[in-house]
Amino acid sequence: SQTIHQWPATLVQPVGSPLSLECTVEGTSNPNLYWYRQAAGRGLQLLFYSVGIGQISSEVPQNLSASRPQDRQFILSSKKLLLSDSGFYLCAWSVVNEKLFFGSGTQLSVL
Amino acid sequence: DQQVKQNSPSLSVQEGRISILNCDYTNSMFDYFLWYKKYPAEGPTFLISISSIKDKNEDGRFTVFLNKSAKHLSLHIVPSQPGDSAVYFCAASVNNAGNMLTFGGGTRLMVKP
């Protein structure tokens, strides 16, 4: 069966520090991968998605970037965090046109 | 422009009664709709979906109704249980795909014992 791992579960970072969140998927090949963010009191916003290694599409301009160095690995990064980057970050996967399966999320607090 | 809206940020229901969560959308190209359930500090989990060729889909205690002319869908939970207390997200996509989703803002459901 397929599983998705996302870490860390919580993270507190100072403003201006770098960020790296990692997500891996097991049990499937060539999944579509996604990064979503839920800001406090708001819905889920798609940040990035990837249909293959090295292929990243950005949905909104922001202080973040994503990379897919391996088929089942998706990384969310920032060189310098802003206060507005605080939120609950979710990694998700799907096969083509099928529903999303989410990871357990990372609560990021930028202070 | 928010294409999927859940106008009720919260809903409180007594255990055993019906919970009705509403969702409105503006993009007429949407043809596939999903509901996700999210507990605190966890990722959302898929609950139920409906294609635009249907107006109702039922799965146990959960039923989703779609009114295409009104661009409105609703999730009915009958009977409601305390374990149903969570945030419910409505989502929509085009081309009958379950992956490129536009989410609503969520509704927090509280089921009181």
Mutation for A interface: B99, B100, B102, most A CBs within 10 A: B99
Looking at the complex, does the CB of residue B39 fall below 8 Å from at least one CB of chain A? no
A15 C-beta neighbours (distance < 10 Å), count: 13
Give me the residue from A45, A99, A102 closest to B49, CB to CB: A99
E strand residue ranges, A39-110: 44-52, 55-58, 65-70, 73-78, 87-94, 101-102, 106-110
Model confidence pLDDT, tens digit, residues A61-83: 788 999 999 999 999 999 999 99
pLDDT at A96: 79
Q: Enumerate residue ranges in chain B where pLDDT < 50.
A: none
pLDDT at B1: 67
Model confidence pLDDT, tens digit, residues A10-29: 999 999 999 999 999 999 98
On chain B, the residues whose CB falls within 8 A of the CB of A42 are 105
Give me the residue from A44, A90, A99 closest to B46, CB to CB: A99
Kindly tell me if the per-residue pLDDT of A41 is higher than 80.
no
A53: alpha, beta or left? (left if phi > 0; alpha if psi -120 to 50):
beta
Looking at the complex, does the CB of residue B26 fall below 8 Å from at least one CB of chain A? no
Model confidence pLDDT, tens digit, residues A25-35: 999 989 999 99
Strand-pairing partners, residue A91, are: A35
Give me the amino acid identity at B72.
H
Average pLDDT, chain A: 92
